[in-house]
Chains A and B, each alone.
Chain A
Amino acid sequence: MYKITIDVGGTFTDAMVLDESGGIRQFKSPTTYPDPSVGFMNALELAAAAHGRDLPALVADVDVLIHGTTLATNALIDGSGAKVGMLTTRNFRDVLEIRRGHKNVGTSMYDVFQPPYKPLVPRARRLEVAERVLHDGSVLQPLVEEEVRAAAARLADDGVEAVAICFLHAYANPAHERRAAELAREVLGPECYIVTSAEILPMWREWERFSTTVLSAYLGPVVQRYLTRMSRRLAEAGFGGSLLMMLSDGLVGTLDYCAAHAVQMVRSGPAAAPAAALEAGAPAGCRDLLSIDMGGTSLDVCVIAAGEVPMTRESWVEQERVATKLVDVHSVGAGGGSVAWLDSLGLLRVGPRSAGSTPGPACYGKGGTEPTVTDADLLLGYLPVDTPLGGQIALRLDRAVAAVETVAGPLGMGVDEAAQAIFTTVNAFMADQITEVSTRRGYDVRDFTLVAGGGMGPLHGPFIAQRLGVDTVLVPASAGTYSAFGMLAMDVGRTYVRTHVTRVSELDLAAVQRLYDEMEAEARAAFGEVEVVLARTADVRYVGQFSEVEIEIPGGVLTAADLQLAVDRFHSRHLELFTFSMPWKGVELLTLSLRATAPRDRALAAVGRAGGGDALKGTRACWFDGDRVHADVYDGARLPAATAFAGPAIVEEAGTTMVVPPGFTCTADRTGGYVLRNTRAGEPLVAAGAERGDRS
């Protein structure tokens, strides 16, 4: 039997096939629009052919298929989500649009010439009903059912495809929302997609909860239609195994769960990256990892400390707040297609605008004229002029030269020097972003190992590591299909939350126990026979604070000693994160979480290395920090395990190109990946920068 993962990205659909011996093979096929399920099946066809079978023969032999997709994100970006109506507490229908006053998201407050935020549900479709629940769950105003029916009828007339039911304090008592959902269902019929805020996110803070719920409603019908189409295609091809979706919380879930919690699809692909990084770090025993996934338009950064995947409840997805727990992947506008330009200060900047895949970088020869990172990479000799990139496009040097000249002139530089400046600028920018992401969490990047994934990651990764002072870079065998690889390494699971605000000094152990028990019962029911691992946490803060720190809570029957231990952990974590703690101050507990996972069934062995033949293809002239040197060029597929060589060198792989800069050594490991070490680690970078400055 096989296990297959398929990651549908913006440009490519990646597939990986794991066989029973633990062997892995990877495949790439273009993503298809408007129906990505076509590309999905194409990727499977490729896999079947490579295994010497027809599609039904392969598919019949697949027991688990895990799927990630950018579908939800794309629907949000191009505005193709559902027409949503909202039922909400009377006198509070504008919570969604006020969005707590957040104005500039991703722009500066001094930039006032920005269009105002338009919520996913316009005001005329935010209908009010009489009801009011208080923070302790008590009912101040009972739900007036007639008003729900009337409002639902108005939404039906308006032709909504989805309804978000969002009442104040519903996390404390979801009865009104549930009843309203039943009534709305009666009026709007089975076709309408209906969600309540307490089922999507039973957590306090109304705007965060409503925003997440509305986004779920907006994406729900799109996700549902896609999943239906996808599972039908698979069934037609003879698939009888289980199909699981990659969720934004770093777990995989069933189609039913996913259809009902569509917001969980917003980071479906990137959420798999940490699992890929952990898998890549495992052989070397590295658990402090900086995962980067650099593609055409963006760099996804994830900081994994002590093997722990970071999570956040404060994500912006485009202009929407998502407060369900998501894998904390920070997306930076820097990729191969990022455009280089000069700002009014005369500074060279790269990105965030990208040439995308159409027209793409100038060297693609598809009409692009602006200089991009890929053009700089080509001019510096890192990418091959002769061999087409990723089996798709032959790169044109003349176009890259013409494009880079547009910034070289104003900078008073030659073309090669300008290419170096673009390359260095984008690397410095990425390094700064990585530092900011990690220091926000209180970590020193130099204690970490960089894992470089994505089509462009293995090329830029070693240079970024150099800037960061990180001395080891891991390039996984499946760097080019990084997320799909992560999905192979993924646990099946689900997260549960309950808000329960109480001071620790007044905490009712039985009440907390009851909430954990409740969540655990839900988890057991959801997983059936499968054995699950349960992990409890609680959000804790000092009385009066506004932000929480998540702390582990022991399993089983809670004791006062367990609680004390958790409080002690909170104090030391606070000290670690923020440079101080306040043991003299009272502590309060806010939201309880449970993460239930069923460990994956099978170990990943290796892509393996075929070896054999002559791996050294020749040499290429490359620029490194202003020096032109000849670098050996290797065919990665032919490198036998344990081969070690020193930079400068280029390794060409199926989905990516890796650069080993001077001063680095590279070892091809037995899994098909590489370990790069900077033998000059610790030398200050500024020497190079200052020298260049003096010369110019």
Chain B
Amino acid sequence: MRRIDAVTLSTVWHAFQSTAREMRHVVDRTAQSYLLAQMHDMAAGIWDARSRTIAVPEGPTSMFLSQKFAVRTVLEKFGDDLHPGDVILTNDPYSGHCNHLPDWGFIKPIFHDGELLFVALTRGHQMDTGGSFPGGYFPNGYDIHAEGLIIPPTRIVDRGVERTDVLELCWANVRFPEGVRIDNAALIAGLNICETRLLAIVEKYGRDVVLDCVDEMLERTERVVREQIAALPDGTYYGESATDDDGTVLDEQVWVRCEATVQGDQLTLDFSRSDAQRKGFVNCVYASTYSRAVAGSFLFFDPALTEFHNEGSMACVDVIAPPGTVCNAQYPATVGGSPVNVGTQVLEATVAALSQADPDRAIAAWGRRRGHYISGTDPRTGERYVQTTTDADGGAGAVSGHDGFEGAAGFSGLGSILRGSIEEVEIRFPWRHVKFQFATDMAGAGRWRGGSGMEWEVENVGSEASVATGSSDGDTTHPPGAAGGADGPLSEMYVIANGERTQLKTHRMHFIAPGEILGKVSGGGGGVGDPHERDAAAVLDDVIGGYVSVAAARGTYGVAIDPETLTIDEAATAALRGSGG
């Protein structure tokens, strides 16, 4: 291979990155689903003709690192029968390596002078994909066919001409065809922008130079990630995490177990000891497990690399998940809940294991997802709606050196997923907010504490609504803390009807009548380090702000604070913390 000069290399590299960002931006600006436009539950990226990952912008970890598998499958399936202007659609976890059926992936081969050079993919969670209930996170489906329409890799645009009959077949099987049609258009627009930009790069620098740059990008990244892994002490580290239940077999926790082995410059993440595949909808396909595990490992590498990860990084990480485990479910297992659980648990277990390899870069898990899919009718328009949110999720986990971010939502999105706007929700949906604020003492304690949990209540001012709590977790299981920090607290969910408060559970279907209030109190992120080592002044600040109570300051952190004067009793604190401690 010809050697590429450093300047051309970084220019081309940056151009791929900014193209991937622009793809995401186009979808952001034009999509109509809350999940896509507001929560950014989507992915976009660029692969080469050998399905090697070149560039992926930020987004939910479940979404893109494994998409090389989808790209490979499409290239194998269609072979020579791919042409400029084609777009392939798939949402199939089994034949298309998607997480679950609502994630529709659009794949476009990009040709230059008749030669396939790149493959672009945009993928996003559709507001509906058929199945028993709207939205996609409903528990207790019989098998994957009960979860909605399955689309194996299917050509939907043939040499630039939309195959409308095929698309209409898809749209006829979803509840909100008009909305899904818009979001499909948004995702395809992202691919078209990508094609324009990549061809311009090839025109400008020449095919050979650009392809050589790609090789060099991958090689350089692999070299550096290997150095980073080599710097970790050799050994096997263990992390585990559980979800409340699988939604079908109720009240029985499901465990994900990760053994992380550092051997020289190779990292192996082995999920063999995880529970067996379940009846319920928490199962991950391998691609889903792969994405989370690899993303988790990236957190432990030099932050300067963050924008540059590609196939080179992935070459250094092996992910083992034997078929038949909950981390590599086989057809026809249901997988609807897997992006939340056990997908989150895969990430949590990975991070918990690696935090032991490098305690100076320990990372606690974030507050669990406290999502829902509410469907009903809006009396103002007479139209049906599906509403979902991340608003009630607890905050970020702590890391060595810093408290968790207050307000950040969803470990598996690492902060790329946004919360809603109260005013926007009230204009759009027949639900009125009663409460949306931090909950006191609902964060994992530690030398660095987690971000707070939330108190969140909304009143139903529309028709009777169904509430699927499949995207909620953490009533009986905790997000793990790290390096001696506490786990994130447990969460709860309730309905208030006629002044009576009734507990609701995760992974169930509930119904809420007009005038009733749906409420959630969520646990925040886990802590890092011993709470008794937390700076007493920081504990006092937490008490003054109402994040931590006077009682917890004393009981958990060993800091005695006078509730009247809000000052620290130094002597009592020293005694509580075992003096000199």
Question: Beta-carbon contacts of B412-454 to A below 8 Å, as 1s and 0s?
Answer: 0111111111111011000011111110000000000001000
The one of B18, B34, B178 in contact with A546, judged by C-beta atoms closer than 8 angstroms, is B34
A101 near B423: Cβ-Cβ < 8 Å: no
Tell me how far the C-beta of B366 lies from the nearest C-beta in chain A, rounded to whole angstroms: 10
Bound-state CA distance A112–B398 (Å) is 9
Could you tell me if A693 and B3 are in contact, using CB atoms closer than 8 angstroms? Answer: yes
Encode A91-111 as 1/0 by CB contact (under 8 A) with B: 111110111111110011111
Complex Cα distance, B418 from A205, in Å, reads 14
Whether A696 contacts B3 by the Cβ 8 Å rule is: yes
A305-334 Cβ-contact flags toward B at 8 Å (1 or 0): 000000000000000000000000000000
What per-residue 1/0 map shows which CB atoms of B379-423 lie under 8 Å from chain A? 000000000001000001001111111111110011111111111
Interface size on B, residues (CB 8 A): 100
Instruction: Report if A101-B390 is in contact (Cβ < 8 Å); known contacts: A91-B434, A345-B308, A348-B7.
Output: yes
**A579 in contact with B189 given A97-B407, A348-B7 (CB within 8 Å):** yes
Q: Using known A-B contacts A91-B435, A579-B26, A693-B5, determine if residue A110 contacts B10 with beta carbons closer than 8 Å.
A: no
CA of A511 to CA of B21, assembled, Å = 40
Q: Select B415's contact among A95, A101, A204, beta carbons within 8 Å.
A: A101
Q: Which of B6, B13, B182 is the one whose CB lies under 8 Å from A421?
A: B6
Tell me the bound Cα distance from A578 to B193 in angstroms.
8
The one of A104, A114, A206, A208 in contact with B402, judged by C-beta atoms closer than 8 angstroms, is: A114
Residues of A within 8 A of B419 (CB): 98, 100-101
B15 CB within 8 Å of chain A = yes
Nearest CB to that of B422 among chain A residues?
A206
Q: Are A116 and B11 in contact (CB under 8 A)?
A: no
Bound: A99/B189 CA distance, A: 29
| Contacting pair A108 B407 (CB below 8 A) | no
Residues of chain B contacted by A580 (CB below 8 angstroms) = 30, 185-186, 188-189
Contacts of A578 in B (CB 8 A): 26, 29-30, 186, 189
Partner of B30, one of A204, A435, A545: A545
B8 — nearest CB in chain A belongs to which residue?
A: A689
Q: Mark B288-301, 1 if CB is under 8 A from A, else 0.
A: 00000001001100
When the two chains form their complex, are residues A204 and B178 in contact, meaning their CB atoms are under 8 A apart? no
Residue-wise, chain B 1-40 has the 8 Å CB interface mask toward A (1 for contact) of 0111111111101110010011001101111111001100
Please tell me if the beta carbons of B30 and A439 are within 8 angstroms of each other in the complex. Answer: no
**Considering the chains assembled together, what is the distance between the CA atoms of A134 and B197 in angstroms?**
45
Q: Is A684 a contact of B437 with CB atoms below 8 Å?
A: no
**Known: A116-B451, A694-B2. Is A91-B546 also a contact (CB below 8 A)?**
no
Q: On chain A, which size bracket covers the interface?
A: 35 or more
Q: How far is the CB of B68 from chain A (nearest CB, A)?
A: 18
Asked if residues A135 and B182 are in contact (CB atoms below 8 Å), the reply is no
Q: Which residue in chain A gives the minimum CB-CB distance to B197?
A: A439
Complex interface: chain B residues within 8 A of A546 (CB): 31-32, 34, 37-38, 424
Most buried by A among B26, B182, B193, B437: B437
Contact A344-B305, Cβ < 8 Å, known A112-B299, A684-B205: yes
A144-158: CB near B (< 8 Å → 1, else 0) gives 000000000000000
Contact of B303 among A113, A544, A574 (CB under 8 A): A113
- Nearest chain-A residue to B185 (Cβ)? A580
Interface centre among B11, B305, B363, B401 (most CB of A within 10 A): B11
| Whole-angstrom CA separation of A116 from B438 in the bound complex | 15
CB distance from A354 to the nearest CB of B (A): 18
In the docked arrangement, what's the CA distance between A326 and B409, Å? 28
A77 contacts partner chain B, Cβ-Cβ < 8 Å: no
B229-257 vs A, CB cutoff 8 Å, 1 = contact: the mask equals 00000000000000000000000000000
B58 interface contact, C-beta 8 A? yes
Q: Which of B3, B7, B178, B295 has the most CB of A within 10 A?
A: B7
**Structural contact, A101 and B299, CB atoms closer than 8 A:** no
Q: A100 with B7: in contact, given A116-B396, A547-B29 (CB under 8 Å)? A: no
The answer to whether B182 touches A542 (Cβ under 8 A) is yes
Main secondary structure of the interface of B (DSSP, over half): helix
Q: How far is the CB of A673 from chain B (nearest CB, A)?
A: 30
A38 proximal to B (CB < 8 A): no
Report chain A residues within 8 Å CB of B266.
none
For B307, give its contact among A108, A428, A542, A690 (CB under 8 Å): A108
Known: A115-B402, A578-B30, A693-B2. A95 touches B418 (CB 8 A): no
A544 to B221, CA, bound (A): 41
Distance of A102 from chain B, by nearest CB (Å): 7
B29 to chain A, nearest CB (A): 5
* B574 at interface by CB-CB < 8 Å: no
A398 to chain B, nearest CB (A): 26
Contact B189 A98 (CB under 8 A): no
Interface residue? A117 (CB, 8 A): yes
Tell me, rounded to whole Å, the shortest Cβ–Cβ distance linking A299 to chain B: 15
Residues of A within 8 Å of B307, CB to CB, are 108
Which residues 645-696 of A have a CB within 8 angstroms of B? 684-686, 689-690, 692-694, 696
Contact call A94/B438, Cβ cutoff below 8 A: yes
A508 within 8 A of partner (CB): no
A627 → B minimal CB distance (Å): 16
Q: Is A301 an interface residue (CB 8 A)?
A: no
The reply to whether B306 and A111 form a contact with Cβ atoms under 8 Å apart is yes
Q: Residue on A with the closest CB to B302?
A: A344
Complexed CA–CA distance, A102 and B18 (Å): 20
- If the complex has contacts A123-B546, A421-B6, A432-B11, are A440 and B432 also in contact, measured as CB distance less than 8 A? no
Q: Is the CB of A135 within 8 A of B426?
A: yes
Instruction: State whether the Cβ of A346 lies closer than 8 Å to any Cβ in chain B.
Output: yes
The answer to whether A95 and B436 touch (CB under 8 A), given A347-B6, A684-B204, is yes
Asked if A345 and B421 sit within 8 Å, CB to CB, the answer is: no
With contacts A109-B58, A117-B405, A123-B547 known, is A95 near B422, CB below 8 A? yes
Given A544-B179, A546-B34, A686-B209, CB of A432 within 8 Å of CB of B415: no
| A443 in contact (CB, < 8 A) | no
Interface residues as binary, A528-548 with B (CB distance below 8 Å gives 1, 0 otherwise): 000000000000001111110
Q: Which A residues, 200 to 219, have Cβ-Cβ distances below 8 Å to chain B?
A: 204-208
Choose from B25, B204, B305, B308 the contact partner of A440 (Cβ within 8 Å).
B25
How would residues 437 to 478 of chain B score, 1 for a CB under 8 Å from any chain A CB and 0 otherwise?
110000000000001000100000000000000000000000
Complex: chain A residue closest to B309, CB-CB: A110
A116 B30 Cβ-Cβ under 8 A? no
A585: chain B residues within 8 A (beta carbon): 178, 182
B514 interface residue per 8 A CB criterion: no
B224 within 8 A of A: yes
B193 touches A579 (CB 8 A): yes
Contacts of B420 in A (CB 8 A): 100
User: Residue of A at shortest CB range from B61?
Assistant: A109
State whether the Cβ of B206 lies closer than 8 Å to any Cβ in chain A: yes
Let me know if B545 is at the binding interface, CB within 8 A.
yes
A579 contacts which chain B residues (CB < 8 A)? 26, 189, 192-193
**CB <8 Å contact, A690 and B209:** yes
Q: Which of A92, A110, A124, A574 has the most CB of B within 10 A?
A: A110
User: Scoring A residues 60 to 78 as 1 if CB is less than 8 Å from chain B, else 0, what string do you get?
Assistant: 0000000000000000000
Q: Chain B residue with minimal CB distance to A577?
A: B29
A169 within 8 A of B: yes
Using A98-B406, A135-B423 as known contacts, say yes or no to A108 and B58 having CB atoms under 8 A apart.
yes
Bound together, the chains give a CA A346 to CA B224 distance in angstroms of 9
Q: Does A122 contact B (CB under 8 A)?
A: yes
Compute how far the CA of A690 lies from the CA of B6 in the bound complex, rounded to whole angstroms: 10
Task: Report if A103-B424 is in contact (Cβ < 8 Å); known contacts: A110-B306, A546-B31, A690-B209.
Answer: no
Other than A109-B413, A168-B422, A696-B5, give 5 A-B pairs with Cβ distance below 8 A. Answer: A110-B414, A116-B406, A168-B423, A692-B5, A693-B4
Q: List 30 A-B contacts (CB under 8 A).
A: A91-B436, A94-B436, A94-B437, A103-B416, A109-B413, A110-B414, A113-B303, A113-B400, A113-B401, A117-B406, A124-B544, A204-B421, A205-B423, A205-B424, A207-B421, A208-B421, A344-B305, A345-B224, A346-B220, A347-B10, A347-B220, A348-B7, A348-B10, A425-B10, A432-B11, A432-B18, A577-B29, A578-B189, A579-B26, A684-B205
